[in-house]
Each structure stands twice: as structure tokens, then as C-alpha cells.
Amino acid sequence: MFSWYEFIFFPNISKEVLFFVLLSLLRWSASEEVEETYDELYRRGVENYLDENWSECIVDLEAALAKHKRVLTAIADCRMQCANKEYDYLNRQNIEDLHFYEKMIRKTLCFMKCKRLNYEDVKFNKAPDGKSLRDIENLEPYLYIQNCYYKDNNPQKAASAVFTYLVRHPDNFVAKNNLKYYLTLPRVNPREVTNYETEEFYSLYLNAVNSYGGEDWDQVIAYMEEAIHSYFAADERCRVLCESSFDQGWLPDFTASVSNHFTYCLQCKQGCSEKLKTLDGVKGDELLGDFYNYLQMAYYKAKKDPEALRSVASYLLIYPTDEEMLHNKVLYSNRRDDAPIEPRPEIVYYLSRNAYEKKLLKFIHDEFNAEIAASRKLANSFDAVKDNEVLPAIGVNKTIKLDNNPFQKYISKNAETVP
């Protein structure tokens, strides 16, 4: 979108371009009047909750959640598309690391074009309210909407909504007690209580496990291979969404600003694996291992020894001392005369990247905290060395700490265990 200062500095711009820009501005202005952002819908949904307008609360909060997911899908799709694109540099020689910055510039331009060309229906032009955004990302709408569902005579959806919230907040007293109550109601079927935020790979994983029980090895292989692909795709989506804006809370110089933002993103990306391991309220710390464990047995039963051995080697990258898997490795290897088979490439890359990121975060934490401590000791005053404040995202993490929910006081007082 052109802005008015561009016409001042480019007076020779054609009338056709001017007409197009003015028309775009008019269309943008018109859409601004009628289309609501997800944070606006969320705030209105909470207002309806407080006013006990249960049906309106449901409509607004459902719309807010749907629009937020649509925005995240658009952002993730465009970032991944632009990250995997090959770029031609303006200069063959990488002078002063300019290739890195040129790539960042080209990725930014690619991202802008992708949103404009592929997601015209998604509203990007207005930044969401920061507090509302954090609430939605923290699944707070489900805590409101569960009560609205119940008051609107739909306890089954109320149970699923509060269960969805509990997956992310397993210690929430109100949510736990409400779910217990919902499960006592005759109109609530516990088997139909679902997590509205479940990732696709989890359903595929369950299908594979069910097929395993029925000894349908080809189905186990098909479902689990798809589950692995879906898992790493979900992990990549989570990671690219970490590359968002960051309020540093201070005004560092260029290098410190880039380092600080990178550290913030890296911390977020490291949390993706833990986030994806939470399956319907149960912490699945062995999820990746389960993928390859089921696969090795299914491939073995299907008499596909090379694939079974490759799955065993992949599992042992995660749990190198597992005695049963070490036994299977020997068993499968004895049935083959050729060279040992390497682990699958996706898990090799995943674990190598994870290990490098952990080392880098530890280096940042140790070295910068040590330097800040040394500077404080030398100056005997924190204020005297504020210019040396680098990476405040490390340590206290005050810049990424979530604010308190503005309605938490109301919830604690009034959203008691239903009914």
C-alpha cells in the first residue's frame, strides 16, 4: 500500500497508479468499518459474558477463536513459504555479511506479497490489542465460553470447552471442578468430550494405536508415517509463529536489538516441542519415541526389515540406553548381511537443531549474565552501566511475562463451580 509521502517523493507517478491506490484506500476504509478483528470479537464476547447474554457470548467467542486461527494459518503459511524460498542476491560476494540482511529483507517482502495475494480475506492491517491477543493465545476464551454453553443449555460443548482449557491449564481450580460437574450430567457423554485445540497428528497417532491393537500392520505404518509428518509440520508452524513482534522495553543499539529479538524467538521455539507433547491433558514425554517404537514393530511384522531397523535407530537417538530397543537392533541387524542403516533424516535434523539451540541459549544465559554481573560489580551501580544491558529477555524474563487476566478477579468471584 502506498502512503502519501511516496507521492511527494515520486511526483511522476502515473495517474493510473494513483487511481488504483485511491481505490484501494477506499476499499480498505470500507472494509475497516464492517469487519471486526478477533480481539474486538473477544472483548465483546467477554462483555456479553459479564452481561449474561449467553447466546451472544457464544457467537462472539466462537468467531474470535475461528478468526484467530485463520490469521495464524495465514501467517504460518506465508512465513514457511518465504523461509523455504531460494533468493538471488544482488551481489555474488557476501561483503560484511550483507547476504544475511538481504535475505531478511527479501523474506519480509515475500511475506507481505504472500499475505496480499493469498489471504485477502484475512485482516492484517490493524494490530490487535496486546492483552486480548495474549488471552486468546492462552486459551482464555474457553474459560468464558464453557459457562456460556452451560447457561445456554449445551453441557456437552461446555464440557469440551472447559477440557480444552484444562489441557493448557491443568491446575485451574474452577475449570477442574466444572469439568467434574459436567461429567455427572446425564446429557454429557464422557467419550464425546474433546479437545477443540487438538493437533491433527494426535488423531492420526490414535488411529495408528487402534490399528496396532487390531494387528493391521499396514494401517499402523500408514497412520504413523502420516502422524510423524504431521507432527513435524505442526512443530514448524509453531516455530515460525514465534517470529513475531517483541516489545523489548528499552532502546538498544542495532546489534543488541537483533540479538535480543533473536533470543526471544529462540526461547519461544524451544517451547514448541513441550507444547506439542501435551496430549489431552496427559504429558506425553515419550511421544516422539512412541512414533518410532510403533513403527519399528509394525515394519518388523510386515517383514520390512530395513524400515524396521531405520525406526529402531531413530528411536535410539532419543533414548540411546533403552535395553529392549538395543536388543531389537541386534535382532534386526542379524537378519541382514549389508551395512547398518542410518536413522531417519527428520529425527536426526530435529534432535541436532534442538541440541544446538539449547547450547546457544545456555551460552547466552551464562555469558551475558556473567558480563552484566561483572559490569555491575565494576561500576558498583546498575544505572552506571545501562548501556551494557544486553538481552533482557534472559534471566527475569519480565518483557515476556504475561499480564494478569483483567477479568480474573471476576472469574474467581463469580465463575464458581457450576451450577
Where residue 331 falls among pLDDT bands split at 50, 70, 90? confident
Alpha carbon separation from 188 to 177, 335, 394 (Å, rounded): 15, 52, 46
Q: 125: which 3 cell numbers?
A: 492491517
**187 and 206 co-located in one domain:** no
DSSP state of 302: T
pLDDT in tens, 249-286: 777 788 888 888 999 999 999 999 888 877 666 666 57
Domain boundary among 181, 197, 213: 197
Question: Which pLDDT score is estimated for 129?
Answer: 66
Once rounded to an integer, what is the mean pLDDT over residues 222-231?
96
User: For residues 83 and 281, which has the higher predicted lDDT (pLDDT)?
Assistant: 83
**308 and 292 co-located in one domain:** yes
In a domain, 274, yes or no: yes
**310 and 209 co-located in one domain:** yes
pLDDT in tens, 167-225: 888 899 999 999 999 999 999 999 999 999 999 999 999 999 999 999 999 999 999 99
Question: Which pLDDT score is estimated for 387?
Answer: 46
| Structural domains of the chain, count | 2
**215 and 347 co-located in one domain:** yes
Question: Which pLDDT score is estimated for 380?
Answer: 57
Once rounded to an integer, what is the mean pLDDT over residues 86-107?
92
In a domain, 59, yes or no: no
Question: Which pLDDT score is estimated for 333?
Answer: 80
Alpha carbon separation from 65 to 149, 152, 313 (Å, rounded): 15, 19, 41
Q: Is the pLDDT of residue 95 over 60?
A: yes
Q: Are the C-beta atoms of 407 and 135 separated by less than 8 Å?
A: no
Contacts of 82 (CB under 8 A, 6+ apart): 107, 110, 111, 114
Contacts of 403 (CB under 8 A, 6+ apart): 131, 134
**267 and 389 co-located in one domain:** yes
Strand ranges in 155-206 using DSSP code E only, listed in sequence order? none
Backbone angles phi, psi at 279, to 5 degrees: -110, 105
User: For residues 116 and 95, which has the higher predicted lDDT (pLDDT)?
Assistant: 95
Kind of pairing, strands 278-279 and 282-283?
antiparallel
Measured in residues, the chain has a length of: 419
**246 and 383 co-located in one domain:** yes
Q: Which of 76-85, 228-237, 340-349 has the highest mean pLDDT?
A: 228-237
Name residue, grid cell 497417532.
205
Domain that holds residue 267: 200-400
**154 and 170 co-located in one domain:** yes
In a domain, 372, yes or no: yes
**184 and 280 co-located in one domain:** no
**244 and 334 co-located in one domain:** yes
**178 and 208 co-located in one domain:** no
pTM for this structure? 0.77
In a domain, 184, yes or no: yes
Q: Which of 61-75, 113-127, 250-264 has the highest mean pLDDT?
A: 61-75
In a domain, 13, yes or no: no
**168 and 216 co-located in one domain:** no
